[in-house]
């Protein structure tokens, strides 16, 4: 059996040498075809190993987290404020409602970060975390009380009327509260983007 394999290898080798002597361009074409075929095989195995590795990582994450589908923070909270700039005793933030950017917040810098429960009282959006209670209000001419979180609408939206956007948020919040869910607002540090 070993002799038969050696004879076949020698025959293939001598055939290639003879073919190269007669017509070298055919051997070059065969060589390029062999190299291309080997490249396809190597790429197939690389992608197979990467795919298998990704599946293993996904399974490990699911087992360690206990939650088969991890949601981002933006999806967990009804509203988020990402602080980004401080101006004296006020701090500006980006406001997201259900994951969509809607405008800018202007709040007291002494307000603590964390999760606040949202509610509606006397036609106002109220947020509280036990020790602290504040209102989410439309910012007009910079006149805000110390505790209020001012809201300025994103000027690039279809409607740039802050009252209309505030009313939309109010309606969404009222709908969630009617469903007996407790919506919340999460405030993040100014260094969130660093």
What does the CA dihedral 69, 70, 71, 72 come to, rounded to 10 degrees?
A: -150
**51, 145: one domain:** no
Whether 154 and 82 share a structural domain: yes
CB 78 within 8 A of CB 183: yes
Is 107 exposed, middle or buried (CB count within 10 Å of its CB: 0-12, 13-18, 19+)? buried
Which of 58-62, 80-84, 123-127 bottoms out in mean pLDDT, i.e. has the lowest?
A: 58-62
* 114 shares its domain with 189: yes
On whether both 18 and 90 belong to a single domain, the answer is no
Same domain, yes or no: 58 and 86: no
Kind of pairing between the strands at 79-87 and 100-108: unpaired
pLDDT digits (tens, 9 = 90+) for 66-108: 444 334 444 467 888 888 887 777 888 888 888 888 888 888 8
Task: Quickly state the pLDDT bin for 52 (edges 50, 70, 90).
Answer: confident
Whether residues 28 and 82 share a domain: the answer is: no
Average pLDDT of the chain is 78
Same structural domain for residues 156 and 124? yes
Domain end position, chosen among 37, 65, 93: 65
> Mind listing the pLDDT tens digit for each residue in 144-184?
677 778 877 766 666 667 788 888 888 888 888 888 788 88
What range defines the domain where residue 184 resides?
73-193
- Which residues lie closer than 8 Å to 67 by C-beta, 6 or more apart? none
In whole angstroms, what is the distance from residue 9 CA to residue 85 CA? 74
Shared-domain flag, residues 141 and 173: yes
pTM over 0.85: no
Among 18, 41, 65, the domain-final residue is 65
- CA–CA dist 90, 112 (Å, integer): 12
Q: State the total domains in the chain.
A: 2
User: Tell me, what DSSP letter sits at residue 187?
Assistant: E
Q: Who has greater pLDDT, 191 or 24?
A: 24
User: CA nearest 155: which of 165, 169, 170, 142?
Assistant: 165
């Amino acid at each position: 059996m070993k002799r038969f394999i050696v004879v076949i290898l020698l025959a293939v080798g001598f055939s290639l040498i003879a073919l190269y002597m007669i017509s070298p361009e055919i051997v070059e074409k065969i060589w390029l075809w062999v190299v291309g075929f080997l490249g396809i095989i190597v790429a197939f195995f690389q992608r197979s190993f990467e795919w298998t590795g990704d599946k293993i990582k996904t399974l490990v994450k699911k087992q360690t987290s206990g939650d088969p589908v991890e949601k981002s923070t933006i999806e967990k909270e009804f509203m988020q404020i990402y602080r980004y700039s401080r101006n004296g005793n006020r701090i500006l933030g980006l406001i997201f409602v259900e994951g969509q950017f809607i405008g800018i917040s202007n709040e007291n810098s002494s307000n603590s970060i964390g999760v606040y429960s949202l509610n509606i009282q006397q036609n106002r959006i109220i947020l509280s975390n036990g020790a602290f209670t504040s209102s989410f209000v439309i910012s007009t001419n910079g006149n805000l009380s110390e505790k209020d979180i001012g809201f300025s609408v994103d000027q690039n939206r279809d409607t740039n009327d802050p009252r209309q956007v505030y009313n939309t948020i109010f309606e969404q919040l009222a709908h969630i509260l009617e469903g007996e869910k407790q919506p919340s607002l999460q405030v993040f540090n100014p260094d969130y983007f660093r």
